[in-house]
């Protein structure tokens, strides 16, 4: 089982403090796949943005420094998790997603050459089969991450989303790549993946009007990661990801800190 080394490493690291020489992660490097949340964070055209409001910043009466803030954010913006209930009645809510769907092996399908001149590109089964011909069959229980190259545009809203317009007018003008229903069906039915993610605002391409990929995958409790960063730093296979959102009871998603463990030899 590809996940066993990671589970063992996490168990050891949580049990004790170890030096770098004895680290269970020796042979791996960490890559942060998350965009920081701030006033530039990109949200769906109909959503409000991120706000961090200070409650107290400064020196207390007791003489020590203290800072506390209240943050405001929709669930779906910036680097975030889509829980299945987001598009599937009865699907897992954010707090119900099992760790086995959030801590997984990962493969990265690089389609940057295909998206360079096609903002409306959708991943095809043919592209997946071409990837497998070079790298081997996508393993069961993994996350499939799609590298479209769009993380390079963050946080330029117009280049990243295809438009700077807001509201329903902005939704109609969206242009960015995503998964196709054909590819999603193949990945679930033939490869039994547990998660998908990519470096655009949605797992469906920007011009989607029916969100078929969301609806299909989420009704089968596959989770989604959107607005992922730094996929250029991951190899095609051999990495593990840890994708942990805030555990909000009944939530349909939430801000996500997603990191990858990448073999040093890759």
List the catalytic residues: 86
Identify the CA nearest to 237 among candidates 258, 259, 262, 257. Answer: 262
103: Cβ–Cβ under 8 A, 6 or more apart, which residues? 3, 6, 7, 10, 240, 241, 242, 243
* CB 255 within 8 Å of CB 248: no
Give the up-direction half-sphere exposure of residue 47: CA atoms within 13 A in the CB hemisphere. 15
- Let me know: does 106 contact 238? Beta carbons within 8 Å: no
Q: Which residues of 229-247 are buried (b: 16+ CB within 10 A; e: fewer)?
A: bbbeebbbbbbbbbbebee
């Amino acid at each position: 089982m590809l996940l066993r080394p990671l589970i063992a490493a996490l168990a050891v690291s949580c049990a004790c403090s170890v030096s770098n020489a004895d680290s269970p992660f020796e042979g791996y490097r960490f890559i942060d796949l998350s965009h920081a949340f701030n006033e530039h964070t990109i949200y769906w055209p109909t959503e409000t943005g991120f706000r961090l409001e200070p409650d107290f910043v400064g020196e207390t009466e007791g003489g020590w420094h203290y800072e506390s803030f209240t943050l405001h954010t929709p669930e779906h913006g910036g680097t975030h998790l889509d829980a299945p209930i987001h598009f599937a009645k009865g699907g897992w809510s954010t707090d119900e997603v099992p760790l086995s769907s959030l801590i997984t092996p990962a493969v990265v399908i690089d389609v940057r050459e295909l998206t360079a001149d096609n903002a409306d590109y959708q991943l095809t089964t043919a592209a997946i089969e071409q990837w497998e011909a070079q790298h081997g069959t996508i393993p069961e229980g993994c996350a499939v991450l799609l590298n479209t190259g769009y993380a390079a545009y963050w946080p330029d809203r117009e280049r990243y989303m295809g438009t700077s317009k807001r509201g329903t007018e902005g939704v109609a003008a969206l242009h960015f790549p995503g998964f196709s229903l054909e590819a999603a069906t193949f990945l679930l039915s033939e490869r039994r993946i547990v998660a998908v993610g990519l470096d655009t605002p949605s797992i469906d391409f920007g011009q989607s009007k029916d969100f078929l990929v969301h609806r299909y995958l989420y009704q089968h409790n596959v989770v989604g990661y959107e607005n992922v960063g730094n996929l250029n730093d991951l190899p095609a296979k051999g990495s593990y990801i840890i994708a942990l959102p805030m555990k909000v009871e009944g939530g349909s998603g939430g801000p996500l800190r997603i990191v990858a463990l990448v073999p040093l030899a890759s």
